[in-house]
Each structure stands twice: as C-alpha cells, then as structure tokens.
Amino acid sequence: MGQLDGKVALVTGGSRGIGRTIAQAYLDEGARVVISSRSEANGKEALHSFDAGDRATFLAGDMTVRESVDQVVDGTVAHFGALDILVNNAGGIQTLGTVWDLSDDGWMDTINLNLHATFWATRRALPHMMAKGWGRVLNISSLEGKVGLPMISAYCAAKHAIHGFTKAVAKEVGRAGVTVNCLCPGYIPETDLARNIGADIAPMLGLGSVDDLSAMFAQQSATGRTPTLADCVGPAVLLASDAGASITGVTLSIDGGIAQS
C-alpha cells in the first residue's frame, strides 16, 4: 500500500519541474492526481510520462486569474469527487531588475503568480478538506522566501509573504484536521526556472554563466552541492501523508543548509 492511497491531489504548475516531480511521487504512493498549467501541450506530455491511466488528469488553468484558479479547484472535485491534497506550486519570476526600474505591472505579475495564486487556490480548496476533517496544503516557496537576492525583489517579497500566510492558515484549520506547510527548495539547476532565469540573473550578479550561478549556491551550502528534484520527493510525501499529521505551519528548507532555518 502507498502512503497516499485513496487521496486526491491537485498540483498547480504540475507539468514541469518540482510540480511534476511531486505529482509523480504522489501517483507512486497511490494518490489520484490532477496537474494544472497554462500549457496544454506540457500537460499532455506530463500525463504521458506518468503512464498512470485514469488516476491522473490535466486541467488547463492560468493561476494569475482568480476565476481560472477557482475552475481548476472545482474541476478537480468534479472529476475525482474530492480534494484532499493541494500543492500550490505554480510560481516563477516574471520580471528582473532593480526596484527603481520595476514597473507596477512587473511587480503585480510576479505577486499574482506566486502569492495571489496560493491564496486563491487555498481559499477555494479548504472547505472541501474541512468538511471531511482531513486535508493537506503544501505551498512551494523558495530559498528566496528566507533570504534576499538582488534583481528579484517581487519574487522574494511574494515568497516571504507565503511563509506568513502558511503559518496563519495552519492556525486557522489545524483543529479541522488540515495541515498547512511550506517547502523551500534552493537553486535546482535541472529546472526550467533555474536554467532560463538563472542565465539572465547571472550577469546581473557579475557572474559569467548559469553554471557559475550554480557553483555560487553550491559553495554557500553546507553540503557543497545544489539540491535536486529528487530531494523534494521525501518531504513532499511526508507532509501530504498521515505520517505528517503533527507537522503544520512549517517552512522546510531543501537548500543544503544555506538558510539554516
């Protein structure tokens, strides 16, 4: 038996990277899983790789639009008849640059994708979990939710805010059998975000390449290496399972000891 047998999970931003890795792990543990992203092509490719039959499905959705977020949550319940686990993974860096050059739209695009999407999905999902007396909300943050990095102030602000949101909501729903936690991965070179945004950030930090950026994070870590997607699996499964019932309001770092909190 898997640790998540009989559970229904929704993973936003689940067609690539960390979200896709967590979705696969949940399927391996017996859950039924909905993944969501803006790209239908990426979603279908992910489903093909899962090879999970009718235990996995894809719902297209734009997490920067509240109505779309609501539709994805409601669609999960309509498709599988329940929603037990919500992974708020959709996120990213929309705009790079210094604060004095950052436009209102650039700021809000990043805040919407990271912070508002997490709020909207959690708000929509919680009544289903509370009605059953069991639920898990897992917010995917970042090392930048605990430290600062220049040129991505909006992203840092959104991820820091998600930590406060996680702790507050955990207090609100704990007695209803729902836990709310946050994973904070460090720089994972194998993700699209790290490769694409990292290539742009590196020269802004005076580094020659994205490989130099990876080396910088590895040097800062206690382990001497950057984390991998596989490093996210164990914590994500634990916090979604019965074994994690007494863990809530936690912001768990997966960064090799850089943040040390």
Catalytic residues: 155
Distances, alpha carbon 142 to alpha carbons 34, 126, 182, 189, 208, in Å: 23, 23, 9, 13, 23
Q: In 27-51, which positions are buried (b, 16+ CB within 10 angstroms) versus exposed (e)?
A: bebebbbbbbbeeeebbeebbeebe
Under DSSP, the state recorded for 114 is I
Sign (positive/negative) of CA torsion 66, 68, 69, 74?
A: positive
DSSP code string of 210-256: HHHHHHHHHHHSSSSS---GGGGHHHHHHHHSGGGTT--S-EEEESS
